[in-house]
């Protein structure tokens, strides 16, 4: 590999690497060795970002076998090293643990549908990345990026700043490792998952692009679940085009995931990317100066974050979009009656320890059923056969497994596990009703093509009905509460109705090309 291409790998786009492979400037083995070296230098040593749980022991052999192949229309990812969140099953020598000590030795009987699609497209599965344990449905107040099996993932924009029990600048969760690894240049791209915010949160904290797809666009088969009503996988990349390329590979019907049977998609998500893509669009900004109490999105922002968002909205207008400033109906973000449940907070680090916390009722009721099905149908080489087994293991190994407790697991385990309870059915119906009376009514009333939110603030609004969001870097902020910090990123999220990913990608691409707001983390130079 030439010296020029050695220095490019640390912040190279996936599309750029495709071209380099196609032209013979690099080989798959070159790329794989380069990323493994960066993982050793920056993840294991140096700032110890701790994003990569394990590297695939077969990665170099897979890359070697792909050296004679160039990326093509049928195999667009040929030779490209991709990392997977450690709740996505692989039927190889890598474990699938969800970050839990209880599943430390667990493997999977086969590849998840997502992993299989990546391999079919020629990708090198480089390894598994750390996450917030069980995708942050284990304990109230668990900091993003923490798991009992691996400790804390660090944000590459502020890797050394810690308080008494967590990073000050969080890496975002639960797909923390996926995002940090991409931001730090440890892979060509990564795959994360979201139930409500777990792609959008790490994307905004690490200055990345992500697509949180419509539920059903990407199969969930073989992914350790929270809630089948809201779970989805999605890409984390350095550019909008890269996310579109991955969406082309991942968006497919799966006989084992009924949600995908209704899938709607274009032939090519990159085909609509256009620098003029915002012209004529109607974009909702859910912040009305005449209704300040009904603005949980833009209202609470810091002064600097408000400046970033004001500039972002100005760019939308400069690019030809009509910006409609109007508050969302409160039910969109408050939710309907009976959609949350009280859970006793036993987290020893929480200032609200001993009080009643609040959790999504749908999450907790679906969690027990869905996790038990995964353990039955996918998990191998583990004694954990049910959620009850994991709760018991954690209790028996509390000093190592329960730094933040397992209050949410205890609440979920107390359900029947068959979704027969009337309160569950009511809560799910109310989640959908809140979307119908909230974001659906809002978009219809104002004839909107999309709604924009700062960072992850609108995640739940879209997640409850399973709607898509695309986030793109917008600028930088600093400070966490009273603590001064280095600059770290803030993203702009475009949200729309079901199956509108192509439209949202077009908007995000136009914004990205006009702003070029992304900057890679400092102090992680090419090797």
HEC letters along 192-213 = EEECCCCCHHHHHHHCCEEEEC
Closest CA to 34 of 21, 23, 19, 22: 21
CA nearest to 466, candidates 202, 250, 228, 144: 228
Of 237, 207, 131, 146, which is closest to residue 176 (Cα–Cα)? 131
Answer yes or no: pTM beyond 0.75: yes
Instruction: Please enumerate in sequence order all residues whose Cβ is within 8 A of that of 240, keeping only pairs 6 or more positions apart, or say none.
Output: 209, 273, 470, 472, 505, 508, 509, 512
Omega within 30 of 0 (cis) for the link into 469? no
* CA nearest to 126, candidates 64, 21, 52: 52
Residue 174 falls in the annotated catalytic set:
yes
Residues facing 146 on adjacent strands: 152
How far apart CA 330 and CA 209 sit, in angstroms, is 28
Residue 164 has what pLDDT?
80
What per-residue confidence (pLDDT) applies to 119? 98
Q: What pLDDT shows up at residue 165?
A: 86
DSSP state of 164: S
Q: Which two tokens stand for residue 340?
A: 């949350």
Pick the CATH number of 1-326+429-527 from 3.30.750.24, 3.30.479.30, 3.90.1300.10, 3.30.43.10: 3.90.1300.10
Alpha-carbon span 372 to 377, nearest angstrom: 9
Question: Residue 218: beta bridge partners?
Answer: 251
pLDDT at position 152: 98
85 in active site: yes
The counts of H helices and E strands in the chain are 18, 17
Residue 7: the pLDDT is: 38
Residue 500 contacts residue 217 (beta carbons within 8 Å)? no
d(CA 79, CA 14): 11
Q: What is the pLDDT of residue 508?
A: 99
The bridge status of strand 151-152 relative to strand 322-325 is: unpaired
Active-site residue identified among 29, 100, 158, 174: 174
Per-residue pLDDT tens, the chain, 527 aa: give them: 433 444 368 999 999 999 999 999 999 999 999 999 999 999 999 999 999 999 999 999 999 999 999 999 999 999 999 999 999 999 999 999 999 999 999 999 999 999 999 999 999 999 999 999 999 999 999 999 999 999 999 999 999 998 888 999 999 999 999 999 999 999 999 999 999 999 999 999 999 999 999 999 999 999 999 999 999 999 999 999 999 999 999 999 999 999 999 999 999 999 999 999 999 999 999 999 999 999 999 999 999 999 999 999 999 999 999 999 999 999 999 999 999 999 999 999 999 999 999 999 999 999 999 999 999 999 999 999 999 999 999 999 999 999 999 999 999 999 999 999 999 999 999 999 999 999 999 999 999 999 999 999 999 999 999 999 999 999 999 999 999 999 999 999 999 999 999 999 999 999 999 999 999 999 999 99
Residues carrying CATH 3.90.1300.10, the chain: 1-326+429-527
Catalytic one among 198, 219, 243, 500? 198
Over its C-alpha atoms, the chain yields an Rg (Å, rounded) of 22
CA quadruple 80, 86, 88, 94: dihedral sign: positive
Catalytic residue among 13, 15, 85, 243: 85
């Amino acid at each position: 590999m030439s010296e020029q291409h050695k220095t490019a790998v640390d912040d190279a786009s996936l599309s750029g690497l495709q071209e380099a492979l196609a032209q013979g400037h690099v080989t798959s083995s070159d790329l794989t060795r380069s990323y493994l070296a960066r993982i050793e230098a920056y993840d294991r040593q140096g700032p110890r970002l701790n994003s990569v749980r394990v590297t695939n022991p077969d990665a170099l052999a897979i890359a070697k076998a792909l050296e004679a192949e160039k990326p093509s229309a049928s195999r667009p990812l040929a030779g490209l090293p991709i990392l997977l969140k450690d709740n996505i099953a692989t039927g190889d020598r890598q474990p699938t643990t969800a970050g839990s000590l209880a599943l430390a030795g667990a493997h999977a009987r086969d590849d998840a549908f997502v992993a299989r699609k990546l391999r079919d497209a020629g990708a090198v599965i480089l390894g598994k990345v750390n996450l917030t344990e069980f995708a942050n449905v284990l304990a109230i107040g668990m900091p993003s990026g923490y798991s009992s099996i691996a400790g804390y993932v660090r944000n590459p924009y502020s890797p050394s700043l810690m308080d008494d029990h967590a990073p000050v600048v969080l890496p975002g969760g639960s797909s923390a490792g996926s995002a940090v690894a991409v931001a730090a240049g440890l892979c060509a791209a990564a795959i994360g998952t979201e139930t409500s915010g777990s792609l959008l949160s790490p994307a905004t904290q690490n200055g990345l692009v992500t697509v949180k797809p419509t539920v059903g666009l990407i199969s969930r088969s073989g992914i350790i679940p929270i809630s089948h009503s809201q779970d989805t996988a999605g890409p984390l990349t350095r550019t909008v085009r890269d996310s579109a390329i991955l969406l082309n590979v991942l968006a497919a019907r799966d006989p084992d995931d009924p949600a995908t049977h209704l899938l709607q998609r274009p032939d090519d998500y990159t085909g609509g990317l256009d620098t003029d893509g915002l012209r004529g669009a109607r974009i909702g900004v859910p912040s009305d100066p005449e209704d300040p109490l009904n603005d949980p999105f833009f209202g609470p922002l810091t002064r600097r974050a408000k400046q970033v968002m004001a500039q972002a909205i100005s760019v939308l207008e400069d690019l030809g979009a009509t910006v409609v400033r109007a508050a969302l109906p409160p039910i969109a973000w408050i939710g309907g009656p009976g959609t949350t449940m009280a859970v006793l907070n036993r987290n020893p680090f929480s200032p609200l320890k001993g009080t009643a916390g609040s959790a999504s009722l749908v999450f907790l009721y679906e969690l027990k059923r869905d996790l038990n099905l995964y353990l039955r149908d996918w998990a191998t080489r583990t004694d954990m056969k049910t959620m009850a087994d994991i709760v018991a293991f954690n209790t028996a190994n509390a000093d190592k497994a329960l730094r933040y407790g397992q209050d949410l697991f205890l609440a979920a385990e107390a359900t029947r596990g068959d979704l027969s309870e009337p309160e569950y059915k009511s809560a799910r119906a109310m989640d959908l009703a809140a979307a119908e009376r909230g974001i659906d009514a809002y978009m219809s009333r104002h004839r909107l093509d999309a709604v924009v939110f700062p960072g992850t603030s609108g995640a739940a609004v879209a997640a409850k009905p399973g709607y898509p969001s695309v986030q793109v870097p917008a600028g930088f902020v600093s400070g966490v509460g009273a603590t001064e910090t280095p600059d770290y990123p803030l993203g702009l999220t475009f949200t729309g109705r079901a199956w509108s990913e192509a439209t949202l990608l077009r908007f995000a691409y136009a914004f990205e090309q006009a702003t070029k707001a992304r900057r890679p983390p400092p102090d992680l130079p090419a090797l």
